[in-house]
Amino acid sequence: MNMTLDVNDLRVAVTVLSFFAFAGIWVWAWSRKNAAGFAEAAQLPFVDEEAVAEERAAAPGRPKQGPTLSEGRSSYPATGELS
């Protein structure tokens, strides 16, 4: 029996491996173990940033977050000149 590998055999192997990788990722993504984390991540665009900042500041052992540019405070002087 003469077995030679052809480029098409490589293509078949890559296709089959890709299918199993896709199926594995799909099972992982839909597992009940990950559902809570994904549900929380899905709500992130709707979260109030100020409430999150207050929760972070109240959490023990976490550094307080300084002012951000969205709060209207910039690290540049009001005159626009750099020192």
pLDDT in tens, 6-26: 999 999 999 999 999 999 999
Domain that holds residue 11: 7-58
The structure tokens listed for 5 are: 């590998």
In this prediction, residue 46 carries a pLDDT of 86
The answer to whether residue 42 sits within a structural domain is: yes
The answer to whether residue 81 sits within a structural domain is: no
The answer to whether residue 64 sits within a structural domain is: no
Q: How confident is the model at residue 67 (pLDDT cuts 50, 70, 90)?
A: low
Q: Tokens 């976490």 correspond to what residue?
A: 62
The structure tokens listed for 10 are: 């490589």
The answer to whether residue 35 sits within a structural domain is: yes
The answer to whether residue 63 sits within a structural domain is: no
Quick check: 64 pLDDT over 80?
A: no
pTM over 0.75: no
The answer to whether residue 65 sits within a structural domain is: no
- 59 DSSP 8-state letter: S
In this prediction, residue 26 carries a pLDDT of 95
The answer to whether residue 11 sits within a structural domain is: yes
Q: What is the mean pLDDT of the chain?
A: 79
How many folded domains does the chain comprise?
A: 1
